[in-house]
Structure 1
């Protein structure tokens, strides 16, 4: 059920089968257009654009597990922004051909007044096994900040990254749009995520906009990961610096950027580092440790990840039935370590912005908390509760 307060709202998350394509199995049912067409949409902190599989796709293209398409021709609120075809990078998955439109999003079936108009890419072509194993029909980007850097489509990128057309002004920033429309208070600039793992029925799964879960108000088992820009071309990623990843006590990658990406599932990043971590965890079960900062620093923290977290059973798709260590190296992702639901299913996560003005928000960082009855991933305690609960 959708929960709405005077600060914001929560939307229930649903889970598809865990597949071996690196994408999260979590999504929301969102209505698009008028009359609304309900599709499965991922809220994605690893991208800076909104997209939907559409009726522009030929019958034999845009195959994906969720298997729905938005038919813009039957929506009486749909408008075109640009019918110029652009290419959007999905990293190792390939590219997606899109056109740009605008339409109404109905965010809640229980509250039909919870609506917003937003720009969206209409996919007209994509292909590949990873897309075919996708549990959702489209994604809404929740970037740390909006990138205005033009994409050089001739340069491969390991990240999901929007196209850029200098003749368009594309206000894709969904969360800023929520604040400007008064659906989220500028005093509560939070996106929160709580999901249950495949074998965890103890908690409700949801994404919150402008809300916090008071269950964690007195918790001391948390970390704050201050935002720092990884690189200009990927400034929309929620990254924090000075991360080290170790396997069985042996440092494999140091001085890396660490990111939490709600659109992903597995650990991904620097090809040399992640390929080595996969080798060390594929046939064994060592503890993987991630440290942030240096001991004694204000934001120092340590995460310990056991094999029952990073080794996952594939539930559908080409690798169904196998249990696979979830570490994947990516070409072109030097010096970054990114992870999604494989780790986040065991944490409560809050992305915090700072509202600078009516037209600008800036990233402050990410708060992560151990679940009360979950594994102790965050090692150690803080002296006082998290400041986001003290306002």
Structure 2
């Protein structure tokens, strides 16, 4: 299963996330009971869950009414959470929820320029935040989404100004902006706060990969969680669940232009990068500054390998800089390597073929180059003839 969290329409808040999860199948009564149970340790709280219509879109609205007992320090909040017991909240769910609170606390600490130990939850409301985060964390894991691929689309932030304990602030709230750093976002389209700090913190902890557009999926279900305000457009968070016909992963691309490197050094650099763990390396002829012939060195890399591979490029080529394009979405066709026996005019040879599939449909079949080359050398037959002969013998 694949899940897309789509806050492009009207942003997201904690209760919108929970509403969408309930529409996906999370148990409404259990979610409500968990929210009130955990929230009651921090303030007076009542949760009501209803189906509503927002500008023609049917959605689930989770209405949280609460008042805090008092502001609470970040570490005191964590200690209180550790002391609360509930049969439905596993250690995995609690650990996830604490990561969301950590995201909020780090953002607040950065905004205020203080150590995380000095952070008190008052702007987001401790009882409200606890209820939203514990309810969303439970529903996320109850639905099994923690083990699935989750995509996030750019959230709408809203606009205008909001009241805070520090006076009027422009939207988005500073903590929201800090949490969504390096993530694509959309301003507007109204003068309301559409994405809250709690919603942003849930988003970044649930999403595996952010994308500007919908990835390739087969859509199964689209659901909506409702926001509080009645706007001139549907104030809803959309989630889409489905299946992916092709596996995907998240990669980075490293690039540099080289106009003073010999062919020998280029070839050696390719070998070194592959040895260090690059997924692929290409060299493209190009024209650089001052109309000089040059080469564009491009490396596909797992994001965790970026620093190692960038250093390898610099050391091997002497380039003064390496561009990094992070979090590139890549579709991967399922591949299966199958050994087959081919009779070359009375001389049987075993070769491997690579079968590429989208779902169950075969889209391409090729013989492994090394196997074909070995047959070519042993039988003294041109490589192109060996490949053509094998292709004619394959029955798929």
Q: TM-score of the superposition, structure 2-length normalised?
A: 0.24
Give the greater-gyration-radius structure (CA).
2
Q: TM-score of the superposition, structure 1-length normalised?
A: 0.24
